Structure formats: structure tokens, C-alpha cells
């Protein structure tokens, strides 16, 4: 699907006032045919440096694209049009480490997809990464390049689920690998002491934008017979009650001892009438 997109309320002459054509790949089609994560892709017709490319993606979508696997690269190579300047993606050198900027995770050896002889850090200033699309050599591969160079922004939008809140009398802890309350987000729920959880304790955001289970609730446990509310008794009640109980117990023991003693005497008279 191709549709026009225009920036609004921007100064004349700004790059954002120019007409941009955004190419959108429907995530469901991608999911069915390629079995990968469900999100949409977008790119700008106008070229820009890496910083502006990321700004463009974050303002309009989620972020610069994060490549997940070879199938995704194959799909982008097949679908995206050829661009002589190629496309910026969401990898940048932070310190001395290549990092996925969207998740702030280091690029692993297994995930590397560099072109031949790359990264070469030419002139020691190549800290950003582009992806070659429809290039005669190393197409679909990555190249490190100077961040000030102008290329198209390659963005993605991750599927969103409805935002969740911690239940009353409880807590919620979530992880968001691809953005707040989005595909692959997971949330775990706990209830405060004296309450119990009604529902499933964990849920995750699926590729269709729905949570795997409904939000649970915390309900107070029934403590009718054990809970003593403040103000329902006099502070002297407990020590007085203990004292009375102790004396009552002692009196009962004395009474029982006397009864047993009298019983023995009566039995003796019966056994020896003379």
C-alpha cells in the first residue's frame, strides 16, 4: 500500500514540510507468508542524516528498524525500492560497541549481517549503519558509514496492545522489549498481603494486538473470625481476660481435686462398712 503523507504546522523550508511518500507493509501479510514478528515498515522518500532519520521514525512510528532475522532481510530486499543512498537502520556504535538503539542491546555475533570487509570504520568516523537494498554486491547486507551522510529512514511500527494498570491492592511488573505495551511485552501481577489474585498472574501481548489473558483483580480474603478491628475492644480487655481465664482454670482444678477426694472417701466407706 502506498499513500501520501504531509507534515503539518512546520516552518517553510524545513525538510518536514516536503511531501513524503510512505511505503507500508501490512504486518499480517508478513506474518502469514514469512512467519516472523508482526509489525509494519515505513520509509521516507527524503534522505537525511542518521539523527534526523531516527527522529523522523520516533515522531511518526516506533523507531529505526531493528532487524530480527534473515527472513526479515529477505522480505525487505524484495519489497523496498532501490535507493541510491540506501537506508539507515537502528544500529549505532556506542562507545566501542555496536548497539540496537531501540532496545539498547549490544549486537551479538550471531546477529551480525555485515557486507564484505565491513565494518571498516573508514576515516574512524563511521559510527552508524545502513542496509544495502537491491545492490549488485552485498545486497541485504550492512555497512558502517558516517552518521552525517544523508540516506532514507527505514522505520517500523510495532503492534500495540491496550495499556495495563496494576490492580487495586496489588502490583504489576512489565518488560517491554519492543516498546511500551507492544508485541512481546509481558506483565506479571501480584497482590498485597491479605488479598488473593483472581485470574491469571501473567499475560503477554500477541501479534494481533491482544493480551493473552484478561487483567486479574485482587480480592480481600475472608478474615471475619480472626480479624480484630481497632476500636472494637478496650486495651485492658486482653490482660483482664487472661487473668480471669487463669483463675477460672485454677478454680476448676481445685474443685475437681476436691470432688475426686470425696469420691475416694465414699468408696472407702462402701468397701469397709465396719
| pLDDT band at residue 259 under the 50/70/90 scheme | confident
Q: pLDDT band at residue 232, thresholds of 50, 70 and 90?
A: low
Contacts of residue 127, Cβ cutoff 8 Å, sequence gap at least 6: 92, 93, 144, 146, 147
In words, the CATH class of domain 170-220 is: mainly beta
Task: Give the pLDDT of residue 254.
Answer: 84
User: Do the first three CATH levels of 2-158 and 170-220 match, i.e. the same topology?
Assistant: no
Mean pLDDT of 76-98: 95
Distance CA 169, CA 192 (A): 6
Radius of gyration of the chain (CA): 36
Q: Map out the domains of the chain as residue ranges.
A: 2-158, 170-220
Contact 115, 86 (CB under 8 A): no
- 159 phi/psi in degrees, rounded to 5: -60, 135
HEC states along the chain? CEEEECCCCCCCCCHHHCCEEEECECHHHHHHHHCCCCEEEEEEEEEECHHHHHHHHHHHCCEECCCCCHHHHHHHHHHCCCCCCCEEEEEEEECCEEEECCCCEECCHHHCCECCCCCCCHHHCCCEEEECCCCCCCCCCEEEECCCCCEEEEEEEECECCCCCCCCCEEEEEECCCCCCECCCEEEEEECCCEEEECCCEEEECCCCCECCCCCEEEECCCCCCCCCCCCCCCCHHHHHHHHHHHHHHHHHHHHHHHHHHHHHHHHHHHCCC
Distances from the Cα of 62 to the Cαs of 59, 109, 178, in angstroms? 8, 25, 9
| Predicted pLDDT at 266 | 60
**pLDDT over 80 at 138, yes or no:** yes
Q: Are 162 and 187 in contact (CB under 8 A)?
A: no
Max avg pLDDT among 121-130, 159-168, 242-251: 159-168
The yes-or-no verdict on residue 5 having pLDDT over 60 is no
Residues of the chain with pLDDT > 90, as a percent, come to 51
Would the pLDDT of 1 be above 50?
no
Q: Is the pLDDT of residue 89 over 60?
A: yes
CA distances from 269 to 18, 51, 90, 261 (A): 123, 113, 107, 13
Q: How does pLDDT run across 43-57, given as a tens digit for each residue?
A: 998 999 999 999 999
For domain 2-158, which CATH number applies: 3.40.50.720, 3.10.100.10, 3.40.605.10, 1.20.1250.20? 3.10.100.10
Amino acid at each position: 500500500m502506498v499513500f501520501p503523507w504531509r507534515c503539518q504546522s512546520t516552518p517553510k523550508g524545513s525538510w518536514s514540510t516536503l511531501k513524503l511518500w510512505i511505503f507500508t507493509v501490512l504486518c499480517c501479510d508478513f506474518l502469514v507468508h514469512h512467519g516472523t514478528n508482526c509489525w509494519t515498515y515505513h520509509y521516507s522518500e527524503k534522505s537525511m542524516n542518521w539523527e534526523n532519520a531516527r527522529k523522523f521514525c520516533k515522531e511518526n512510528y516506533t523507531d529505526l528498524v531493528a532487524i530480527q532475522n534473515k527472513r526479515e532481510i529477505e522480505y525487505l530486499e524484495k519489497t523496498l525500492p532501490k535507493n541510491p543512498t540506501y537506508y539507515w537502520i537502528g544500529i549505532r556504535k556506542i562507545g566501542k560497541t555496536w548497539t540496537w538503539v531501540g532496545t539498547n542491546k549490544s549486537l551479538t555475533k550471531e546477529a551480525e549481517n555485515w557486507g564484505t570487509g565491513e565494518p571498516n570504520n573508514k576515516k574512524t568516523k563511521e559510527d552508524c549503519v545502513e542496509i544495502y537494498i537491491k545492490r549488485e554486491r552485498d545486497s541485504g547486507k550492512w555497512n558502517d558509514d558516517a552518521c552525517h551522510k544523508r540516506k532514507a529512514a527505514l522505520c517500523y511500527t510495532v503492534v500495540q496492545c491496550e495499556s495495563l494498570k496494576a490492580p487495586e491492592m496489588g502490583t504489576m511488573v512489565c518488560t517491554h522489549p519492543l516498546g511500551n505495551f507492544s508485541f512481546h511485552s509481558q506483565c506479571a501481577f501480584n497482590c498485597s498481603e491479605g488479598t488473593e489474585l483472581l485470574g491469571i498472574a501473567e499475560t503477554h501481548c500477541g501479534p494481533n494486538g491482544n493480551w493473552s489473558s484478561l487483567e486479574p483483580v485482587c480480592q480481600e480474603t475472608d478474615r471475619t473470625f480472626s480479624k480484630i478491628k481497632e476500636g472494637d475492644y478496650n486495651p485492658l480487655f486482653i490482660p483482664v481476660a487472661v487473668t480471669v481465664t487463669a483463675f477460672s482454670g485454677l478454680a476448676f482444678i481445685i474443685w475437681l481435686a476436691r470432688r475426686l477426694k470425696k469420691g475416694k472417701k465414699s468408696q472407702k466407706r462402701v468397701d469397709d462398712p465396719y
